[in-house]
Copies of this chain bind each other. A is one copy, B any other.
Amino acid sequence: MFARYKDMVEQELSQVAPASGNNDLAILMRYHLGWVDQTGAPAANPSAQGKALRPTLCMFACEALQGNLRQALPAAVALELIHNFSLIHDDIQDQDLERRHQPTVWGLWGIPKALLAGDTMQSLGDLEILGCNRSGVTPSVTLKVSEILTESYLEMIEGQCLDLVFESRANITAHDYLQMIACKTGALIRSSLHIGALLATDDRQSTDAFARFGSYLGRAYQIRDDYLGIWGDENATGKSSDNDIRRRKKSLPVVFAFEKASSGSREDLIRIYGQENLDASDVERVTAILEEVGAPEYAERLIQKSAESAVEALAQVALPGWARAEVAELVDFLARRQY
């Protein structure tokens, strides 16, 4: 099911990304999407491709509500483009040199070109969703879904900004943190499901329920990401497993530890997070503190709770049996994934 959505999206996407007019930027975009290597030759390493989560969610919502999948395809492609635009800019912002086992776009081509490749992807995404009405969607629904997409990436940018601000603030609470990820990660996941639903039905109760489903799913997804950023297997995630701590990221387990650690451990945390560079023993010490305060269990509890609320959000929506089963499987996968 989900593999079929991914194939449809990738086929459509492959028509868009090379058609950007300028060859130079097309290679950067195709490279970022994991299709080609840095010379433009077909990529050998399929793990450099993303999960296509957002377009998959959009297609799923549309089909679950008996919509026409063809009408959801432009929006799904737009979501993947917008997501990838945000990753390219995010890597510049965080000065990350690696993503999905590969050097980042700005790392290879420099900031100016990476900036433009991101801007181009965003514009291509905007154009895709504005073109919905050529697949038979009415102009007013096309406008509506375009607005929702735009509002959600505005929220995403606000989340990225908060994330930046948090880096230099000592007293972040778990509450602040959850608000930040609701913007940074949650908004686009929520709008993926909301848009897919709107392309299938104008029943407000159903479309709102899918949006709510997306909010909880996004929270579970991001907290799982935080968990994997510390305790994940780096071969599976494509990120160095001590990366989040080494980079002094204030992800949920760390924020929790800052709140809960006893005074001695808390002083260690403050001291280590105040250093410019962390070595292996610093990372080890921080990990030990996180485990001492029960941060992994806390994260797992929150993931579980969000996953249950996600399933609950759709309880009142009439769904065919296959869709109900997919919801359960999807939530379970996102809450337990290893990559």
- What are the residues of chain B within 8 A of A142 when measuring CB–CB? 139, 143
A338 at the interface (CB under 8 A from B): no
Partner of A122, one of B94, B122, B133: B122
Interface residue count on the A side (C-beta < 8 Å): 43
Question: In the assembled complex, which residues on chain B have CB atoms less than 8 Å from the CB atom of A133?
Answer: 140, 143
A161 interfacial by beta-carbon distance below 8 Å: yes
Q: Given the complex, which residues of B lie within 8 Å of A165, measured CB to CB?
A: 24
The reply to whether B126 and A157 form a contact with Cβ atoms under 8 Å apart is: no
- A residues 154-178 with Cβ under 8 Å of B? 154-155, 157-158, 160-162, 164-165
Q: Are B113 and A127 in contact (CB under 8 A)?
A: no
In the complex, which residues 131-152 of chain A have their Cβ closer than 8 Å to any Cβ of chain B?
131, 133, 138-140, 142-143, 146-147, 150-151
Partner of A130, one of B138, B147, B155: B147
A127 contacts B150, CB within 8 Å? yes
When distances are taken between beta carbons in the complex, the residues of chain B under 8 Å from A22 are 158, 161-162
Q: Is the CB of B89 within 8 A of A157?
A: no
Separation of A157 and B22 alpha carbons in the complex (Å)? 10
Q: Within 8 Å of chain B (Cβ to Cβ): is A116?
A: yes
Instruction: Report chain B residues within 8 Å CB of A122.
Output: 119, 122
Residues of A within 8 A of B (CB): 20-22, 24-25, 89, 92-94, 111-113, 115-116, 119-120, 122-124, 126-127, 130-131, 133, 138-140, 142-143, 146-147, 150-151, 153-155, 157-158, 160-162, 164-165
- The one of B89, B113, B123 in contact with A115, judged by C-beta atoms closer than 8 angstroms, is B89
| A112 to B92 Cα, complex, angstroms | 7
Min CB gap A227→B, angstroms: 25
Which of the residues B123, B153, B160, B161 comes within 8 Å of A150, measured between beta carbons? B123
7 further contact pairs, Cβ within 8 A, besides A127-B154, A139-B140: A21-B158, A25-B158, A115-B115, A119-B122, A120-B158, A138-B139, A142-B143
